[in-house]
């Protein structure tokens, strides 16, 4: 039997962007960058065979299905402008889950880890950092039980110098540097990020939930057809960063969370009870430019056609200067700790 088709964007969320209804079947218009827009049943959108299958054997699909009934009821009520104080915990559960569960999150995680490895390896193998690398190798060698036994036969005052001479003659530093260079080719980043994502989803996501419990939640309504939904999931603006909206899974402390829940409603989380003005065009553009593959809409107009050409233009994390600054800082800290 083939793998089960599993939605990384829940159907109850997609239903809010319906373009056509035929009985119990809901259709949305899908926009992909290199393909003509098309209308399809929501069962065919945001889905992949075996997406939640992992090595642990935990039946995540069944666990999600049991939660989605409550989330679907919540979102349907929100689309009718109904939000009670008692809904807050369920909103937090739903938003946290959606931040982590998407294919966008999985691919972005793999990209960031790969970028970190690449940046760290480039720093550690740079000729100017050779001394730090040699010190690191020496530090690790001194921890080996076999090395402790050998050191007992060497004069204490010359142990370090003798080890450095020994490692240079064997070319250990260059061999280690070469090992670092080929390491990314031998690591399955996609599998590693999948396992990390599934592990998070199988847990309680308590740290993320605790942060979002500080938020006040609002509903923002516009005429039908105003908003669209990208494959990126919830958006966020972060403290201390540039003002641009970014994926909510981005590293940092969010001060604003925005999630389109239908073509006329946004769910917005803020740290204060006052909802500041929202740039509606900025929300749509962020949904489009941060999405990796597609967005869905309830209509096909010149506006959506223009958006289509911009899909994915900001989706590559490694193109973000702030991300690169963070990666470089991490790699520099590693080197400083070895000097």
Asked if residue 130 belongs to a domain, the reply is no
Asked if residue 206 belongs to a domain, the reply is no
The rounded distance, in Å, linking the Cα atoms of 95 and 89 is: 10
pLDDT attached to residue 108: 84
Tokens of 176: 């280690």
The rounded distance, in Å, linking the Cα atoms of 220 and 265 is: 6
pLDDT attached to residue 334: 52
pLDDT attached to residue 65: 79
Total tally of structural domains belonging to the chain = 1
Tokens of 64: 């999600």
Q: Are 100 and 93 in contact (CB under 8 A)?
A: no
Asked if residue 249 belongs to a domain, the reply is yes
Q: Which residues face 296 on adjacent strands?
A: 30, 229
Q: Are strands 216-221 and 47-49 parallel, antiparallel or unpaired?
A: unpaired
pLDDT attached to residue 183: 60
Asked if residue 133 belongs to a domain, the reply is no
Q: Exposed e or buried b for every residue in 297-332, given b needs 16+ CB within 10 A?
A: bbebeeebeebbeebbebbebeebebbeebbeeebe
Asked if residue 236 belongs to a domain, the reply is yes
Q: Rounded to two decimals, what is the model's pTM?
A: 0.78
Asked if residue 73 belongs to a domain, the reply is yes
Which residues constitute the domain of residue 300? 5-108+212-324
pLDDT attached to residue 339: 47
Q: Exposed e or buried b for every residue in 188-216, given b needs 16+ CB within 10 A?
A: ebeeebbebbbebbeeebeebeeebeebe
Widest Cα–Cα separation across the chain: 86
In sequence order, what are the residues at sequence separation of 6 or more whose Cβ sits closer than 8 angstroms to the Cβ of residue 87? 74, 77, 78, 217
3-state secondary structure the chain: CCCCEEECCCHHHHHHHCCEEECCEEEEEEEECCEEEEEEEHHHCCEEECCCCCCCCCCHHHHHHHHHHHHHHHHHHHCCCCCCHHHHHHHHHHHHHHHHHCHHHHHHHHHHHHHHHHHHHHHHHCHHHHHHHHHHHHHHHHHCHHHHHHHCCCCHHHHHHHHHHHHHHHCHHHHHHHHHHHHHHHCCHHHHHHHHHHHHHHCCCHHHHHHHCCCEEEEEECCCCCCCEECCCCEEEECCCCCCCEECCCCCCEEEEEEECCCCEEEEEECCCCCCCCCHHHHHHHHHHHCCCEEEECCCCHHHHHHHCCCCCCCCHHHCHHHHHHHHHHHHHHHHHHC
Burial, 181: exposed, middle or buried (Cβ in 10 Å; 0-12, 13-18, 19+)? Answer: middle
Asked if residue 145 belongs to a domain, the reply is no
pLDDT attached to residue 338: 47
Asked if residue 179 belongs to a domain, the reply is no
Instruction: Indicate the angle between helix axes 103-125 and 321-338, nearest 10 degrees.
Output: 40
Query: pLDDT tens digits for the chain (339 residues)?
Result: 568 889 999 999 999 999 999 999 999 999 998 899 999 999 999 999 989 887 766 677 777 878 899 999 999 999 999 999 999 999 999 999 999 999 998 888 888 777 766 666 666 666 666 666 666 666 666 676 766 666 666 666 666 666 666 666 555 556 556 656 666 555 677 788 888 888 888 876 888 899 899 999 999 999 999 999 999 999 999 887 666 899 997 667 899 999 999 999 999 999 999 888 899 999 999 999 999 999 999 999 999 999 999 999 998 866 666 666 665 665 565 555 544
């Amino acid at each position: 039997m083939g793998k089960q088709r599993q939605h990384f964007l829940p159907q109850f969320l997609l239903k809010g962007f319906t373009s056509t209804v035929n009985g119990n079947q809901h259709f949305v218009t899908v926009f992909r960058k290199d393909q003509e827009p098309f209308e399809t049943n929501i069962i065919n959108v945001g889905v992949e065979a075996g997406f939640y299958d992992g090595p642990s054997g935990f039946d995540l699909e069944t666990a999600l299905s049991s939660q989605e009934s409550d989330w679907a009821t919540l979102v349907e009520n929100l689309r009718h402008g109904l939000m009670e104080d008692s809904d807050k915990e369920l909103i937090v559960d739903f938003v946290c889950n959606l931040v982590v569960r998407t294919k966008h999150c999985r691919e972005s995680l793999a990209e960031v880890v790969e970028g970190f490895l690449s940046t760290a390896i480039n720093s550690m193998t740079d000729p100017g950092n050779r001394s730090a690398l040699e010190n690191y190798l020496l530090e690790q060698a001194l921890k080996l039980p076999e090395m402790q036994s050998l050191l007992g036969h060497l004069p204490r005052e010359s142990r370090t110098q003798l080890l450095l001479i020994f490692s240079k003659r064997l070319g250990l530093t260059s061999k280690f540097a070469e090992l670092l260079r080929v390491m990314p080719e031998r690591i399955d980043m996609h599998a590693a990020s999948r396992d990390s994502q599934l592990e998070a989803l199988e847990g309680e996501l308590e740290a993320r939930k605790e942060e979002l419990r500080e938020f006040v939640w609002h509903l923002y309504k516009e005429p039908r057809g105003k908003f669209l939904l990208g494959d990126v999931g919830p958006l966020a603006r972060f403290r201390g960063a540039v003002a641009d909206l970014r994926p909510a899974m981005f590293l940092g402390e969010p001060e604003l969370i925005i999630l389109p829940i239908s073509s006329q409603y946004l769910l917005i989380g803020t740290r204060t009870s006052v909802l500041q003005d929202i740039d509606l065009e900025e929300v749509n553009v962020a949904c489009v430019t941060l999405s990796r593959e597609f967005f869905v809409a309830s209509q096909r107009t010149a506006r959506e056609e223009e958006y289509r050409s911009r899909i994915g233009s900001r989706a590559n994390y490694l193109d973000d200067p702030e991300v690169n600054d963070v990666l470089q800082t991490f790699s520099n800290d590693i080197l400083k700790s070895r000097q």
